[in-house]
Structures are given as C-alpha cells and as structure tokens.
Structure 1
Amino acid sequence: MRQAQNSDLAAIDTIIENARFYLKQQEINQWQLGYPNQETILRDLEKKYGYVLIVDNQVAGYVAIIMGEDPVYTKIESGQWLNQSADYVAIHRFALSHLYRGQKLAQRFMTAILTYFFDKDVIDFRIDTHPENMPMQAVIKGNGFVKRGIVYIDEGDTKQVRWAYQLFLN
C-alpha cells in the first residue's frame, strides 16, 4: 500500500467504474448516482487522502483516508460512537480491481490500512457502507469493526442511508 499519485488516476477510475458496475449487478443502489467520480478522486489526490494497493506492480485497490473529524460522521442515528473524539481515521471509497476479485485481497487491504495507521498511533477508525452491501460488510466485520448506527451521505442530489461502523483499538 502506498499514497496514490496522479499517475494512478486512470487505474483508480477503472477500479471505481468496475466497482460501480459490480454493485449495480448485485442490485445494490450504492455509487449509482455519479459518486464517486473523477472529480472526487482528483480532490482525494490533491488533499493526500488517496491510497492504493499494489499487487505485482499494478494498482489493485483504492481507498480514501480522512484523518480527523469527517462531517459524514458528525451526526449518527440509531446508535452512537464509542467516543466523541474528532481524532479518528475515516475510511471511504474502498474498492478493489475486478481483476483481483475472489482473492481475499479486500481483507488484506483493510488490514494493511489499519496496520499502517495504527503504526501512526491512530486507534479510532470509522467506516460506512450501504445496508445491502454484504461483501463490504463482511470485510468490515472481519476486521473487527462493530456497527454503531446510521449516517447519511450525499450521493447525487439525495441523502443516502449508510450503516456506520467503528473499530476502537485501546
């Protein structure tokens, strides 16, 4: 895993588009309204939020990591965070290349993210996903996250329900 670079943009775009198509095939209404798009990824790269998973010198996965308070997680319903600290890592736009599907790389990628930031003294991690996205929920729960409630994200012109998870390593 390494920080994403502008030269990774085409590969990241392909990964996001293939993930969007996969979700549509699974009849999951996530990422179907134009988010995330190339503008989102360019903003991630500019702000140094983007990270890529490299396999055999190829970009095999993408994730955006936001350190510190994330507006998506400010308001939570039907539950609560374990703490009110703004000192956490938010994990967004987690996607793997369709070329590596079925190889358990999602679990390994998530473990790499957690290890990388734990080594930087981060102990609070938050992530969300669509209520019907069972594969992502398996990755999230398989890495020790616990469902904490519901958050809403802007996707297109609407607010979309997402299940929110937290992993607190103390």
Structure 2
Amino acid sequence: MVYNSDKMATVYMRRAKARDMDTIVSILQSAKGYLKAQGIDQWQSDYPNHETIQTDMDNHQAFVLICGDEVAGYAAAFEGEDPIYTALEDGSWLVDGHDYASLHRVAISDKFRGQKLAARFMTALISYFYAQGARDFRIDTHPGNLPMQKVIANNGFEKRGTVHMEEADHISTARWAYQLLIQD
C-alpha cells in the first residue's frame, strides 16, 4: 500500500501484540525472499521464525512499526548485554561495557518497501530507548545487505568490526557490527 494522497498516513512504533504474529511472520518471510533474491545468505535458514518472534514477545523485546492501520515493520530490541556483541573481531567498541541497546531483526513489509520506513523505524527505536536512558546502541547486518547498511549509516551508526551469528551450520555467520553513541 502506497499512500499518495495529500494526507500522510500516521506512522508510529508500538510493542508487538499477539494479534500481530501472523503479519510479523509474513514480513520476515518476505524479507528472507528479498535477501535471497539479492544473493545474500542472511536469514536463509529457519531463523527468524514464529518461535523467535514469540520469544521476543515473551521478553518484551518485540516492536512493530504501524503505517496507517497496518503493521509495516518488525524489530526486536532490548537493553543490556547482548552475547552477540561480546566477541567483536577486527575492531573495537567505542566504549566497553554492558549498558547498551541492541537492535535486531529489522524488517519492513514488501507493501511498504521504498518508502524510507526502515529509517523512520530505526529513529523510533533509538528515540524510545534514549528516553529509557540508553546512550549506546548496537546493530549488525550481513556484509552484503547494502540497503540495511545504508539505513544504519544514515542513522549515525559507525562500523566497529565483525561479529558472528549462529544462524545455521551451512550459512555464513559473519555480520558487520555498528555502534552509535549519543551524548547528553
């Protein structure tokens, strides 16, 4: 759905609810197809799946981007130490410690692709966790995922090194890790 009227659709972020599950799974499945079509092996196993999203919801880490009255995107985010970011290779974090917000599984629905909503979603996530006291933000993506790298860079993140995901035995797990520090 593309909104081309004079009135812009309301865009906001909220915590995901159980009723959003099917739409979230659909968004992630279409994101897998999008990545595969680009020749990127990110998310080409069973991950992320229904159980991943349910765990995110159970841990209060699941967020959706709403555009108009539709779920347009999904992300998982939380504060505190993230095991993915404890073993950074080929670089270093700007600050060490365990007090940061991690952003994961950011995906936008095919219906809304090309509308710059990933950038708006990222801004909403950063703003939400900033309001909670976070000043250090971390995110990672596949080295071949150029669209997400652009979203990450355009939100002020700086590439800091490489981390590894345990996605599947046969899938390359290297991910570029990024960090954003916000000063008060």
Residue identity opposite 2:90 in structure 1: S
Matched, 1:29 2:41: yes
Matched, 1:97 2:109: yes
Distance 1:79 1:14 in 2: 35
Which of the pair is proportionally richer in strand?
1
Match of 1:2 in 2: 14
Distance 2:147 2:135 in 1: 24
Distance 2:78 2:134 in 1: 12
- How far the C-alpha of 1:119 sits from its partner, in A, is 1.4
Match of 1:141 in 2: 153
Alignment match of 2:60 (pick from 29, 44, 48): 48
Larger radius of gyration: 2
Give 3-state SS (helix, strand or coil) of 1:155's partner. Answer: coil
Matched, 1:66 2:67: no
Distance 1:56 1:66 in 2: 25
Distance 2:132 2:142 in 1: 29
| CA-to-aligned-CA distance 1:68-113 (integer Å, 9 cap, x gap) | 0000000100001111110100000000000000111111111111
Aligned pairs, number: 170
Residue identity opposite 1:111 in structure 2: T
Match of 1:168 in 2: 181
* Structure 1 residue runs without a partner (length 5+): none
Distance 2:141 2:78 in 1: 16
| CA-to-aligned-CA distance 1:128-164 (integer Å, 9 cap, x gap) | 0000000000000000000000000100235600000
1:104-143 superposed matches below 5 A: 104-143=116-155
TM value normalised by structure 2: 0.90
| CA-to-aligned-CA distance 1:51-74 (integer Å, 9 cap, x gap) | 000011111000000210000000
Q: CA RMSD in A?
A: 0.9
